[in-house]
């Protein structure tokens, strides 16, 4: 494979074309082993980035390692400038943008917040296992973190130091508001677990609305351990199914089930996402799509530094 662990694409380098320099390859590859051996033999030392990626079984630092950009990059002279590394650091700390299937930015309509204000928040909390904080606020556990929905101020809040501060997370905000507006019962969990193709609105999940499983396959298709680490960081519960399977809880009474099968010479890797069928009594297909996407993004982010 042409791309080195650091992200440099050797395939588009003239030094590689001329045979002056061999490809480094991803950290887990045979190419990486060979390159490290060659560096040791010819230079008496190895590239600290390639050696670290190889030792830690990381294919691509920028995509797969939660330590990036680490000291191996910032202390070394190459391959990236300080400006590039600072940009990566800053943008990795930002929450990824939220897009609707048509590519537009997600926003929560003021009328949804108005509908939510009409609800009896204590009754809603009883049904959802959210915790009332004040008459206009309730706290819930999203995967591995506490989040407050502030109905008076129309936002989600996360803890920063000792303060609860407004947090831009439009997909989660939208689905949470819709969930609280619609919930009207305690729905059974874990009894009737199905795929989106088994839901009444199955036709929705096609074309631009297909679940975004490609990035999961790209990241974890041959990295079961990385998938397990990400799911366990998000407080996922392991299930004894597929090559790796986890139950993740975006809300206390809503579960999603992610199944991963590793690829081999014959079969490509596969990901399936299942859910409790009663979710369709609370969320329309577009909100289910948004919720699965939000949890998928959390899995792709992995452990935040
Ligand atoms: S920095 Fe290391 S991994 Fe990247 S191209 Fe150079 S030798 Fe290879
Ligand atoms: S710690 Fe740094 S060099 Fe090592 S795998 Fe992670 S990003 Fe790459």
Q: What is the tens place of the pLDDT at every residue in 155-176?
A: 999 999 999 999 999 999 999 9
* Closest ligand to Cα 92: 2
Q: What is the tens place of the pLDDT at every residue in 37-95?
A: 999 999 999 999 999 999 999 999 999 999 999 999 999 888 999 999 999 999 988 88
For residue 237, the SS3 value is strand
Can you tell me the distance from the alpha carbon of 247 to that of 184, in angstroms, rounded to the nearest whole number?
Answer: 24
Q: Are the beta carbons of 151 and 108 closer than 8 angstroms?
A: no
For residue 304, what pLDDT band results from cuts at 50, 70 and 90? low
Nearest-CA residue for atom 8 of ligand 1:
24
For residue 97, what pLDDT band results from cuts at 50, 70 and 90? confident
Atom in ligand 2 nearest the alpha carbon of residue 5: 8
Q: Are the beta carbons of 229 and 303 closer than 8 angstroms?
A: yes
Whether residue 1 is predicted with pLDDT greater than 70 in this model: the reply is: no
DSSP E strands, the chain: 131-134, 137-142, 145-150, 155-160, 163-167, 193-195, 237-239, 244-251, 254-261, 270-276
Whether residue 101 is predicted with pLDDT greater than 80 in this model: the reply is: no
Q: What is the pLDDT of residue 278?
A: 95
Q: Where are the domains of the chain?
A: 10-93, 110-301
Which ipTM was obtained for this model?
Answer: 0.90
For residue 266, the SS3 value is coil
* Closest ligand to Cα 57: 2
Distances (CA, A) of 126 to 66, 75, 121: 37, 53, 9
């Amino acid at each position: 494979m042409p791309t080195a662990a650091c992200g440099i694409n050797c395939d588009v380098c003239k030094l590689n074309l001329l045979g002056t320099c061999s490809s480094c390859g991803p950290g887990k590859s045979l190419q990486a082993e060979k390159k490290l051996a060659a560096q040791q033999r010819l230079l008496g030392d190895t590239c600290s980035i390639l050696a670290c990626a190889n030792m830690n079984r990381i294919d691509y630092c920028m995509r797969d390692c939660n330590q990036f950009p680490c000291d191996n990059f910032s202390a070394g002279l190459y391959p990236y400038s300080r400006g590039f590394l600072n940009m990566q650091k800053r943008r990795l700390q930002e929450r990824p943008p939220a897009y609707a299937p048509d590519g537009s930015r997600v926003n929560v309509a003021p009328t949804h917040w108005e509908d939510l204000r009409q609800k009896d928040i204590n009754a809603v909390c009883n049904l959802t296992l959210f915790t009332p904080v004040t008459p206009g606020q309730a706290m819930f556990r999203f995967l591995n973190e506490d989040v407050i929905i502030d109905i008076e101020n129309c936002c989600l809040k996360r803890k920063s130091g000792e303060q609860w501060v407004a947090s831009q997370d439009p997909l989660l905000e939208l689905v949470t508001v819709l969930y609280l507006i619609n919930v009207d019962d305690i729905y059974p969990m874990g009894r009737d677990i199905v795929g989106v193709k088994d839901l009444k609105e199955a036709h929705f999940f096609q074309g631009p609305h297909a679940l975004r499983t490609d990035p999961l396959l790209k990241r974890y298709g041959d990295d079961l351990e990385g998938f397990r680490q990400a799911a366990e960081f998000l407080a996922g519960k392991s299930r004894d199914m597929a090559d790796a399977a986890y139950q993740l809880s975006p809300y206390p009474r809503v579960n999603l089930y992610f199944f991963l099968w590793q690829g081999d010479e014959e079969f490509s890797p596969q990901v399936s996402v299942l859910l409790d069928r009663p979710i369709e009594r609370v969320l329309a297909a577009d909100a289910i799509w948004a919720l699965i996407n939000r949890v998928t993004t959390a899995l792709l982010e992995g452990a935040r530094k």
